């Protein structure tokens, strides 16, 4: 317990996020922009606007959306911010888009996070396994200090947690992220196309939210 308390944990958490968005008493609704690769920054921003204007709270970059020749990260950030503010003005609601700040170096990652903050967007995203725990913790500290929400993508987790005869269970990876810092993380799904069974996914949710989790074999605990 003493060791765990040396970590700051999530930059903000559930209640602060709801306060920032002024949305209470219901789930937050979002989607990932598709196709994940191939759109220009302008067309990508248009898709973000249409989704947010249509009623979503959030849209997000896919984990592969980084800084490719057809859509450089700075252009994407600018067009997404424009879409965000336009949708907010027309709906009167606070909206967000998870801008992927993951990069090849910590310095480049921080440059992207700083640019996102300068644009005034509420949230950024990081692939914590491909980026690494040191990079993730640095970003989490920056987000806490500067009022940015931090969404965590678990890209590469299957290489570590899906095989039965080696690796590390996702419960352990999720707990490690809880220490490193992130306001929310992909944990599978109870409905839809993503990987995950209902009870196991709810077990991940309990594990990340509760101080103490009782044994529940149906939820893998």
> Across-strand partners of 97?
59
Among 60, 97, 151, 153, the active-site one is 153
Neighbours of 112 (CB within 10 A): 22
| Contacts for 205-209: CB closer than 8 Å, 24+ residues apart | 207/171, 207/174, 207/175, 208/174, 208/175, 208/178, 209/14
34 catalytic? Reply is yes
Q: State both tokens at 52.
A: 């947010």
* CA distances for 149 relative to 113, 177, 193, angstroms: 11, 15, 26
Q: Which of 34, 157, 175, 186 is catalytic?
A: 34
Peptide bond connecting 33 to the previous residue in cis, omega within 30 degrees of 0: no
Asked if 68 and 37 count as a contact pair (C-beta separation under 8 A), the reply is yes
184 is catalytic: no
Q: Give me the active site residues, please.
A: 34, 153
């Amino acid at each position: 317990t003493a060791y765990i308390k040396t970590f700051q944990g999530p930059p903000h958490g559930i209640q602060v996020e709801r306060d920032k968005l002024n949305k209470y008493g219901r789930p937050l609704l979002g989607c990932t922009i598709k196709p994940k690769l191939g759109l220009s920054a302008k067309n990508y921003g248009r898709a973000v606007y249409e989704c947010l204007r249509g009623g979503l709270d959030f849209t997000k970059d896919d984990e592969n959306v980084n800084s490719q020749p057809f859509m450089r990260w700075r252009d994407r950030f600018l067009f997404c911010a424009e879409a965000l503010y336009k949708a907010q003005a027309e709906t009167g609601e606070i909206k967000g888009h998870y801008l992927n700040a993951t990069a090849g170096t910590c310095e480049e990652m921080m440059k992207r996070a700083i640019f996102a903050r300068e644009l005034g967007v509420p949230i950024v995203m990081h692939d914590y396994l491909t980026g690494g725990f040191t990079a993730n913790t640095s970003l989490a500290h920056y987000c806490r200090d500067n009022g940015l929400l931090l969404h965590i993508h678990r890209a590469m987790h299957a290489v570590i947690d899906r095989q039965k005869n080696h690796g590390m269970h996702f419960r352990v990876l999720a707990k490690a992220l809880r220490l490193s810092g992130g306001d929310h993380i992909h944990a599978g799904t109870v409905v839809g196309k993503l990987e995950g069974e209902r009870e196991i996914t709810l077990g991940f949710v309990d594990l990340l939210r509760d101080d103490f989790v009782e044994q529940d074999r149906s939820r893998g605990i």
